[in-house]
Chain A
Amino acid sequence: MADAMFIGLSILTIGSAIISLESRELLYGGIALAVSLLGIAGFFVILDATFVAMFQIAVYVGAVAVLVIFTVMLVRSPNTVTKRETVKRKISGIILSLAFLALFGAFIGNSAVSQFSFSDAVPAVDIKEIGRELLTYYSPVLIVLAFTLAGAIIGALALARREDIEEKNEPAK
C-alpha cells in the first residue's frame, strides 16, 4: 500500500512544487506551495515521523505558507504577475537543475546509498525519545533556538516598523 501512497504523494508534492513556481497567479503559487508542504508532511507520516509531520503542518503549512500568501496579497500589483521569464533563462535554469539531478544521481549511484534499506525489524523512533533528546542533549540548542526566534522577531519588527516620523520629513522617496 505504501507504494501507491508514496507515488501519489510524490506526484502531488512534485507537481504542486512545479505549479507553485510556474503558476501565472502568484497567489496560486502560494497555495500550491502549501499543498507541496503538505505532501512533505505526508512523506513524514510514511516515515513514521508523525511528530515531525505535525510540526511541519503547524509551522510550515500553518505559518510559513500563510505568511507567504499574506505577503503575496500585500505586495500584489500588476507588475508582479505580468513579467515573464525569457525562454533562454528558463532553458539555462532547466539545464542547471538537470545538472543537479545528475549530480545527485552520480553520487547516489556511485555510493552505497541505493542499497540502504529500512529495517522493519527495528521499531520507529518513539516520540518520547525525541522529547528526551530535546530536553537533555539538545537542551542548549533549544535555548539558542529561542534566541534565534527572538532575533528573527526583533529583526522582522524592526524592518516592518514604519518610520513615520522620518518619513514625514522626507515625503518623496
Chain B
Amino acid sequence: MNQPSDFIIVAAVLISIGIYGIVVKRNALRLIISIELIANAVNLVIVAFSRMLPNSQGQVFVLFSIAISAAEVAVGLGIMIIAYRFYKDIDVTEYKNLKN
C-alpha cells in the first residue's frame, strides 16, 4: 500500500468534497473553507509526486502554493467582511444584484 495513487485518491476525495462545498453551501465562509480544502488536496498531490519522483521542486512548489493561499485568504476574508457590512449576512445567495 501507500502508493502515490492512494494519496491521489485521498486528494480526489477532498477535492470532491470541496467542489460539493462550493456549489452547495450558502455561507461565504464555508465557500472559503471549501476552497482551502481543494488547495490542500492539490498540495497533497504535488507532495506525493515530489516524493515519488523524487524531486525537490515539488516541495518548493507547495511552499509557494501555501503562501499564495494564505495571501488569497487574507484578501478574500477582507472582501467577505465588507460584504457582511452591507448585508449583515454572508449568505452568498443574497448577492444577486448583478444578474442576467
Contacts and interface: CB of A to CB of B under 8 A. Distances in A.
Direct contact of A and B (CB under 8 A): yes
Interface of A: 2-3, 6, 10, 13-14, 17-18, 20-21, 26, 29-30, 33, 36-37, 40, 43-44, 46-49, 51-52, 55-56, 59-60, 63-64, 67-68, 71-72, 74-75, 77, 79-80, 83, 85, 89-90, 92-94, 96-98, 100-101, 104-105, 108, 113-114, 116-119, 122-126, 129-130, 133-134, 138, 141, 145, 148-149, 151-153, 155-156, 159-160, 173
A85 B25 contact: yes
A132 B6 CA distance: 30
B79 A159 contact: yes
A123 B54 contact: yes
Contacts of B75: 152, 155-156, 159
Q: Which secondary structure dominates chain A's binding surface?
A: helix
A105 B89 CA distance: 38
Q: Would you call the interface of chain B mostly helix, strand, loop, or mixed?
A: helix
Contact of B60 (A85, A97, A138): A138
A36 B19 CA distance: 16
Contacts of A60: 36, 40, 66, 69-70
B63 A85 contact: no
Contacts of B21: 21, 93
B64 A63 contact: no
Contacts of A29: 29-30, 33
Contact of B33 (A2, A20, A125, A160): A20
B4 A118 contact: yes
A163 to B, nearest CB: 11
B43 A40 contact: yes
B54 A37 contact: no
Contacts of B7: 43, 47
A68 B67 contact: no
